[in-house]
Chain A
Amino acid sequence: MGSEFAYEDLSSQEIEKYSYKFLEEKGDLLIVEQDPTDPKSGYTRRIVTYNKGKGYRIEKVEFYDRKNALLKTLKYTDYNVYKKKFWRAKTFTMVNHQSNKETILNFRNYDFDAGLTEDDFTQVALKRAGR
């Protein structure tokens, strides 16, 4: 809806969605190139920066379009650690370098051990939650 995030950027991160190439290590930062395996992907590659010292959390993702030109940069900031191991960012900032537009997503009230069960994911339950 007029956002700089594509569905592809928000969908779940699965190992098999990319092939990987380790690029370099800068202190705690590990830079990895990820090439989408889906031929319909909007990108040729993503350059992802992981932070080894902070539970391998992602600091930054650079998206390259089908013409291999830098299209967008996504930065994760305002990190908190939950349950001593889950790093979650409160702010996602996506900047589109070609249109100079940006979208900021703010998250709050991360809740772990929310006590959800399979019954909370039936069609009826999801409809109720979405109301």
Chain B
Amino acid sequence: MKYYIVVLLMSLGLITQAQTEKKKKKFKQEFELEIEGEYRYFFDDAAFPDQKDHFPALSIQPEYSLSWNRGRESINAIGFLRVDQDDSRTHWDIRELYYQKAKGKWELSIGAKKVYWGVAESNHLVDVINQTDQVETFDGEEKLGQPMVQYSYSTDKYGTFDLFYLPYHRRRTFAGKYGRLRFGEVIDKDDIKYESAAEEFRQDFAFRWSHYFGIMDIGVSHFYGSGREPLFAFKPNGEINSFYPVMNQTGLDLQITHSAFLWKFETIYRDTESQDFFALVGGVEYTFSNIKKKGIDIGVLGEYLYDERGKYALSALQNDVFFGSRIAFNDSHDTSILFGGILDLDKETRIVSVEASRRIRNSVTAEIEGRFFSKVDSEELIFSNFKQDSFLRISISKYL
């Protein structure tokens, strides 16, 4: 009899324990699929043979997440597939696939992930963790998934500390034979070598500290490893020698929010064996909100860009001014438009761009993008190759 009571008490204990466990271990799954149809049209005659004018394309982006322990543990996955007229633009990628665990003040992520640093609109200097998915967008804002171990520690008084271990480098892909926005010579991604003998497997590290003081947000970062941006050295015979240099890069980003003003500043110092330079981008965004009580917000932006590399800057933003305007209609279609222009202060190069998006059905959005290169100075080492590559892009996305 005694024995039975003990067993009963034990099992009661187990039941309550199992119930709390069950509450804790509630699994939550989410799945989303984006299917996008895209058409890019380059309306100027191609600069180089084989380049095409019309680029119909499709992309699929599935997203899955499984979380438990009240969201403190999760597995997150984002895949991506693009099929395009230009073979080099046809590609797939694991944008994210990582396990994350958070406990108290720390958070640990293991796997492929995207990490974005920075505040500026026209150039993203301090953002060094992920390789750019160069063939995907012109502005370089799409990134490839980066294998990493990320450890974050938050403190109340001293801000957030992030440590990154980056065991594998991903190469940048460039437009192929049929593609636009390329040099005369087609670059195969394997043509670009590494300074490090370990090549892709060089073990890289990065660190970031971020904090806020009243109206100011600040981030200080350091990266030591193979650069994501290849270094191009042009030989007199026109040959390009290019490689991923081992670099030390220190970055600072600041944002000050003061009434309707957003002051933004980013600067880096990059040190490699063959080149060291500093670059900065800084400016302001001012938002006129709720214009005529219609809920429309109009932001005006101005930024100055400097790159000590001068004409060798891959971004070609060596001494330029960016101006732009962001219009958010705040309507139920979430209509927004971003206009921008970059003026070279030394030469006469101008780049004008427009990006607009609007939801046209409950789960369907449309986007229009235009990039117009005008008066590209022949002195522009990089951009002179693109002067015939103004384009219009229309895309429609369906979310399932």
Q: List chain A positions with a Cβ less than 8 A from chain B.
A: 1-3, 115, 117-119, 122-125, 128-129, 131
Contact = CB atoms under 8 A, between A and B. Distances in A.
A124 B102 CA distance: 10
Contact of A125 (B65, B154, B295, B330): B154
Nearest to A116: B70
Given A124-B154, A125-B154, A128-B71, 12 more contacts: A1-B331, A117-B104, A118-B156, A119-B154, A122-B105, A122-B160, A123-B160, A124-B102, A125-B102, A125-B107, A128-B102, A131-B65
Interface string B145-182: 00000001010100010000000000000000000000
Interface in B60-114: 65, 70-71, 76, 100, 102, 104-105, 107
B71 A129 contact: yes
Q: Categorize the interface residue count of chain B.
A: 20 to 34
Nearest to A66: B293
B25 interface: no
Contacts of A119: 104-105, 154
B276 to A, nearest CB: 32
Contacts of B154: 119, 122-125
B352 to A, nearest CB: 28
A119 B105 CA distance: 6
Contact of B70 (A3, A115, A122, A123): A115
Interface in B14-67: 65
Contacts, number: 39
B191 interface: no
10 tightest Cβ-Cβ pairs between the two chains A and B = A2-B332, A122-B154, A2-B331, A124-B154, A119-B104, A124-B152, A124-B107, A119-B105, A124-B160, A1-B330
B76 A131 contact: yes
Contacts of B331: 1-2
A105 B65 CA distance: 26
Interface of B: 65, 70-71, 76, 100, 102, 104-105, 107, 152, 154, 156, 160, 210, 212, 295, 330-334
Nearest to A101: B332
Contacts of A122: 105, 154, 160
Given A122-B105, A128-B71, A128-B100, A1 B334 contact: yes
Nearest to A118: B156
B105 A1 contact: no
Nearest to B217: A123
B76 to A, nearest CB: 7
A3 to B, nearest CB: 8
A41 to B, nearest CB: 13
Contacts of B70: 115
Nearest to B76: A131
A11 B79 CA distance: 37
A119 B70 CA distance: 13
Contacts of B295: 2
Contacts of B334: 1-2
A107 B212 CA distance: 33
A2 B333 contact: yes
Nearest to B105: A119
